[in-house]
Structure 1
Amino acid sequence: MSLNRCSYLLVICLCLAACDTSAPSAHNEASASPGSPGTPTLPPVASLKGGLWMKGDLHIHSRHSTDSSNNPESKIIALGERVGMDYLAISDHDNHVNGDVAHNTWTDPEFRSNSLLLLYSAELTTARGHANPFSAKPYNHQRLYDARDGLDTTLAKIIKEEGVHFSANHPNGADHFGFSYDMVDSMEVWNSSIWSSNAGSLLIWQDMLNSGRNITARGGSDSHHGYPGVGDTPGQNSIQAGANNVGTPTTWVYATARTSEAVIAALTNGRVSISSNPNAPRVELYADLDQDGTMDMMMGDNTAPTGSAVAFRVDLVGVGAAVAPYTVTVIKNGATFGTYTVLPTSPSLSFTDTPATGERSYYRVQVEGQQALYPEVPASALLSANMIALSNPVYFNFNRPR
């Protein structure tokens, strides 16, 4: 997916003019929200013992995609290392190399890092959809490419045999995902720094949730361009890199270990949050089933409701130097459940609700407010507007096997 070059030029100028002193947009506070928002102490979360949050980018293009410029793998990885990423998936277009990413992107001598986990991926680029497989080890991507125009059932069989996590890319728009969502583990609901372009993808994801498909929401910068190097002539593509690059947005996963396998398992299990950039707050959503003060569930978890009230907690982690309040919207089953104002000095809230025993229910969170500065990609804050973070849902009565 490419982005308008003139828009990037305009955004760069606006960003330079606004700098970091511009006031954030005002938000409407809810006058009547369910539950009782508060600032609870932070008890231990039973399901979080022994794990860690890791951040990365799950969709970016190097010079092995012919529509990419100034973007060798070394430049992507160096930026990822510099901004504190934990993992990256360089996902070049497979049709640019006739499906042979194994002897292009993956065997490039620059495909290495001392600090980043590098996932094996490529963008399955077809006339009826784009998708990214993710794997902790090399897999036979050529099989997927050769089956791209066949039946979905054939492709699904290969996905299972290769053992890859299969993710739909930018589901709406000209390059929409046109395959069956029943073979999908995750969906790119936040593509690039331009938040406004993702409304359609968010609706498609919501439709999938409403139908009982617990598909993980993820992000991906889909960046195609890097900054000019020594001797390069700066141009529009390098300006685009200042607006959309590694980590715009950033996908956070709660992994059980610092391994590629654990990153993909967390992605599959929905223990995932998305933020506008690596410096923006991460939103976390938990549920205390028996209201004993210990959180029993987090994003991605599913259970059968008992008919009793459940206490939920939302945490904003890493608010940094923010001074303006955040607007947190809790969405239940596709509709707004409540809207709350959260101060950076007390970045948590709680609410209660009783999930119906005989129905599917899900709760997720969106956060709006003051953008965190991302000096390495300065114009991304304006393109992301007020959207700060998205959580994956906590589920009740979702029994779809993965």
Structure 2
Amino acid sequence: MAERHGRRVVITGWGVVSPVGLTADETWDALVAGRSGIGNVTVIDASDLPTDLAGEVKGFEPKKYLNHKQVRRMDPYAQYAFAAASEAVGTAKLEITDDNAHRVGALIGSGYGPMQSLGEHVVVLGAKGPRAVSPFAPVTGAIDSAAGEISLAFGVTGPTRALSSACASGTDAIGEAARWVRYGVVDAVIAGGAENILTRVDMAGSGNAKALSTRTDAPTEACRPFDEDRDGFVMASGSGIVVMESAEHALARGATILAEVAGYAATSDAHHWTAPHPEGRGARAAMRGALEDACLTPEDVGYINAHGTSTVFNDQSELDSIRAVFGEHAERVPISSTKSMTGHMIGAAGAVEAIVGAMAINRGLVPPTVNCHKPIDRAVNFVAHEAQAHDVDVVMSNSFGFGGHNAVVVLRRWQG
């Protein structure tokens, strides 16, 4: 981050498991092509649920990344995190040895954690009794299981923790882990978010709360952020993980620097469990705080990856907040929501979207908001339907979650 605050923090590796791809590159290619990963759910029986729309991870084979014992004791959310972390560490070419392991940490965010496994353990207990409950249940059902498995597999002996702040979890994990690097707690950290909430309980609850899209006749068109006809978000699963290091550490080992984590801020609305603050108080403070942390102005931002969930209140509130913070620049900067293609990965969303932002800096393209046929504000560039070429040096990625959690990260092109 900014030098006056301490050490500069850079991204040297990334990994993604998403409804549109099983790697960062696959995900990026699908997004810039405008391909949706949303469809009718297949992993659960949704015949009696309010909606059967979901962004499922497709074609994922746990045994490609994990041995038999690991698969048995890991919920899918942790499996996704492990796969993304493996890609991130490989991309970064980070070697963790006995000599440096204590200077490496892991921080994995999740809104809900191992919901599938918890549900399965409860069913087994009720149907077969206590003796039938797996001895792995305390591990499989723990929200820190992803961080723990990553620590065990890669030999990370610095701080390893879980973080949960609903839909802001992935962004918060990256931001808080960046602070570990900034202030010298570690030299490198594996951080991000993971989620697998495609369970009957989660889909029933969110559906009954009237938060989900019911456009079941056209799944790929269901998620339509910033469109006048939006009717709710689409639940999804996945993971996004980055490797972050101090600039000195990365340069000393000859690592390729992909982007700088320039600023981060987190706030709370203290208003309502599910509705955003009517004046966007927390969202605006988080955006302003992240820019201040980065020593940047709104005019410096070249792309905003919006939270953009496709819910009536969130989209309008976020847009109002962007206008309040960015002024006239809100009509010049491209703003898109990749949730229009992935669905809402909850705790993984912010991490995946931060990676997408960093890739936009490196690739010179901004991914689109698909299904934005009737934009709620025609003066704003929502990058409707098709990717756009933009020379982007600074990206803002927004995450605003249930419970009033707000987290914003600002990424910048690396300039040594």
Calculate the TM-score normalised by the size of structure 2.
Answer: 0.30
Higher helix fraction (1 or 2):
2
Larger RCO (alpha carbons 8 Å, 6+ apart) = 2
Higher strand fraction (1 or 2):
1
Calculate the TM-score normalised by the size of structure 1.
Answer: 0.30
